[in-house]
């Protein structure tokens, strides 16, 4: 689907450029943007490598284990129908920890593993369980202590202080997590009550 979107955008730009007599400017802008994107990716890759190394140190120093233990009581309350020491809970805790540490690339496979583990114990495979719905909200909103990707992008764009967005990101992501969890829990409760009434 995205391929068709990109083709549409490129063709629209070329046709508009031809109709307005600015085709050469449009083509030049496209070439310059492609060139700039290479430099952005290279800068971004270097910064991401540095942060990935820092996160590896956090893992080796057992910081991830400490965060896991801290998050476990909260997860017990959020996922009341999942056993605390079960495989699904462990996979979800690893995903939440990776997100907290800003490991977006590492968090994705852990999130997929967590969802597979939840699906294995789901009594209705065609319908997402309550735990799956809550987990997807947590994974999507994902509170981050270190927003690595945003900081890396700002640094590659030569921002004066790439880290000055951290506090606003904490506030906005914490707000989105709270609103998301409250909303999904309300929907779950509503569905259970409706099921009883039927």
pLDDT tens digits, 26-78: 888 888 888 877 877 776 677 667 666 766 776 677 776 777 777 778 888 88
8 Å CB contact between 131 and 118: yes
Kindly tell me the burial class for residue 115, based on how many C-beta atoms sit within 10 Å of its own C-beta (0-12, 13-18, 19 or more). Answer: buried
> For the chain, which residues make up each domain, given as ranges?
2-197
Average predicted confidence (pLDDT) for the chain = 80
pLDDT in tens, 148-175: 777 777 877 778 888 888 888 889 888 9
Q: Residue with structure tokens 């910064």?
A: 47
Whether pTM > 0.85 for this model: the answer is no
Pick the closest to residue 141 from 182, 172, 105 (CA basis): 172
Q: How far apart are CA 188 and CA 183, in angstroms?
A: 9
């Amino acid at each position: 689907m995205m391929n068709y979107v990109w083709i549409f955008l490129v063709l629209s730009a070329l046709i508009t450029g031809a109709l307005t007599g600015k085709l050469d400017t449009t083509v030049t802008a496209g070439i310059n943007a492609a060139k700039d994107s290479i430099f952005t990716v290279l800068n971004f890759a270097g910064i991401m490598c540095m942060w990935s190394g820092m996160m590896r140190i956090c893992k080796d120093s057992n910081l991830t284990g400490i965060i896991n233990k801290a998050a476990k009581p909260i997860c017990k309350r959020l996922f009341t129908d999942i056993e605390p020491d079960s495989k699904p809970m462990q996979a979800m805790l690893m995903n939440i920890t990776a997100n907290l540490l800003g490991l977006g690339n590492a968090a994705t496979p852990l999130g997929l593993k967590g969802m597979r583990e939840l699906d294995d114990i789901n009594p209705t495979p065609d319908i997402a369980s309550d735990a799956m719905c809550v987990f997807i909200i947590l994974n999507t909103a994902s509170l981050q202590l270190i927003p690595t990707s945003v900081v890396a992008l700002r640094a590659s764009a030569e921002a004066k202080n790439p880290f000055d967005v951290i506090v606003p990101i904490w506030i906005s992501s914490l707000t989105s997590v709270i609103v998301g969890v409250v909303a999904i829990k309300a929907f779950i409760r509503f569905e259970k009550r409706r099921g009883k009434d039927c």
